[in-house]
Amino acid sequence: MKSIRELYRIGTGPSSSHTMAPRRAAEMFQHRNPECKMFRVTLYGSLAATGKGHLTDVAIMEAYSTWHPTDKETLECKIRRAGDVEIFWCPDENLQVHPNGMKIASINSDGDLYDKWTYYSIGGGDIICMECPIEDEGQENIYDMTTMTDIMNWCNNTGKSYWEYVEETEGKESQIWEHLEVVWKVMKESVERGIEHEGVLPGPLNLRRKALSYHVRAFGQGDTFKTRGLVFAYALAVSEENAAGGTIVTAPTCGSCGVLPSVLYHMQTRYKFSDARILRALATCGLIGAVVKHNASVSGAEVGCQGEVGVACAMAAAAVAQLMGGSPSQIEYAAEMGLEHHLGLTCDPVGGLVQIPCIERNAYAAARAMDAGIYALYTGGRHRVSFDQAVKVMKQTGHDLPSLYKETSEGGLAKAMDQNY
């Protein structure tokens, strides 16, 4: 199982699989073909079906351009046509390994094919290449134990916590805590930017930002409703920043990036937890996400939104249980509930945009994570369905789902609303 560094990626939205990963692939291919000035990119399956809404073409063209927009520039200003890049869309054709496939070819000065590689975006900004192994920090397998059951037994036998297993496995010399410090800094900044921004999100849906109004209204409520309102506001803030192409952290994906930061931000501001305790929670959450990614998938194109928002909810629920003093079994139970009650969740982004139902879904999952964490603390941690069983079921359910409901915008809400904008 790989390092949790590979799970927490810092980048720009709106999609880790359709924006961040294709940009990485394009940059990597260009670096290996520096003498070529013309490139042909062919997108397949889900990458092609929802790529325009996810700004896949914009990300690719930016990678092959010397022009780099600043964070202050609007998303519309980023769209620039690169004359030396051709992009072909094949939504009805899937490559063998994964629904998110892309081929990149370089053309020499004589107009002849020079090189051609095949990449797959496998979720959370991660990519694999069929022609060459990708040398990337965090790509190697470093965890011997790859199930929550084994890791929980280790915790119970040693008296240590999940985050201590992360520390022992990753090694203090790996600067894992320094990495998590940066991750937490970016998460907090995305919350704080999001609750200040107003206006309409980019794209044809003309969807207004809601985080600021939710944040204001929350302070006019009683304690219970205030808590809910603030968690909603923080999740909306990060998800709206992602939809606008802002800088966020995959947790485990861009499409689900609002769940974990909102819960952690609320827990720190409400209960005054130190940064050190938040970082330990991030380590535990990263471990849970890594277990899912190793044994199943966090790709909406492969298993639906249960692998994105469902896994994010599991991670955040575990954070709540750990921060409130839960035992290893209670933390595992919280994570299991967060995932179990999202089983079968479809990925049907309206217009191919990471907006409807994605943004609202993040807010709702954040509230569910709070509930799951608290629920687990009322038990001794004993329960019938293990987290590992939920992961196995999620993987099978994802494979059983028709492609209509796996990030193609051909079914569900996407189909029902395709005439409404």
Cα(66)–Cα(223) distance, integer angstroms: 51
Instruction: Encode pLDDT of 18-45 as tens digits.
Output: 999 999 999 999 888 888 878 999 999 9
What is the rounded distance in angstroms from the CA atom of residue 11 to the CA atom of residue 247? 5
Report whether pLDDT(76) > 50.
no
> Residues 105, 168: one domain?
no
pLDDT of res. 19: 95
d(CA 259, CA 238): 8
**pLDDT of 358:** 98
Question: What confidence score (pLDDT) does residue 125 get?
Answer: 92
Residues 120 and 234 in one domain: no
Q: In total, how many domains does the chain have? A: 2
Beta-carbon contacts of residue 22 (< 8 Å; ≥ 6 apart): 43, 47, 51, 56, 59, 60, 102, 119, 121
Confidence of residue 229 (pLDDT cuts 50, 70, 90): very high
**Rounded-to-integer distance, Cα 365 and Cα 370, Å:** 9
In SS3 terms, the chain reads as CECHHHCCCEEECCCHHHHHHHHHHHHHHHHHCCCCCEEEEEEEHHHHHCCCCCCHHHHHHHHCCCCCCCCCCCHHHHCCCCCCEEEEEECCCCCCCCCEEEEEEEECCCCCEEEEEEEEEEECCEEEECCCCCCCCCCCECCCCCCHHHHHHHHHHHCCCHHHHHHHHHCHHHCHHHHHHHHHHHHHHHHHHHCCCCCECCCCCCCECCHHHHHHHHCCCCHHHHHHHHHHHHHHHHHHHHHCCCEEECCCCCCCCCHHHHHHHHHHHHHCCCHHHHHHHHHHHHHHHHHHHHHCCCCHHHHCHHHCHHHHHHHHHHHHHHHCCCCHHHHHHHHHHHHHCCCCCCECCHHHCCCCCHHHHHHHHHHHHHHHHHHHHCCCCCCCCCHHHHHHHHHHHHHHCCHHHECCCCCHHHHHCCCCC
Q: Express each pLDDT in 358-368 by its tens digit.
A: 999 999 999 99
User: At residue 73, does pLDDT exceed 70?
Assistant: no
Task: Please report whether residue 141 resides in a domain.
Answer: no
Residues 93-152 have pLDDT tens digits of 999 899 999 999 998 878 888 999 999 999 999 999 988 776 654 568 999 999 999 999
pLDDT at position 136:
58
For 196, the domain range is: 148-416
Among the candidates 129, 159, 177, a domain finishes at: 129
pLDDT tier for residue 69 given thresholds of 50, 70 and 90: very low
Does residue 197 lie within any of the structural domains? yes
Beta strand pairing status for 113-123 and 100-107? antiparallel
Name which of 37-46, 56-65, 213-222 the model is least confident about: 56-65
Domain boundary among 94, 129, 164: 129
In a shared domain, residues 107 and 160? no
Do residues 275 and 155 share a domain?
A: yes
Q: Mean pLDDT for the chain?
A: 92
Reported as a pLDDT band with limits 50, 70 and 90, residue 420 is low
pLDDT band at 272 (very low <50, low <70, confident <90, very high): very high
Beta-carbon contacts of residue 384 (< 8 Å; ≥ 6 apart): none
Write the CATH number for 187: 1.10.4100
Of 129, 157, 188, the last residue of a domain is: 129
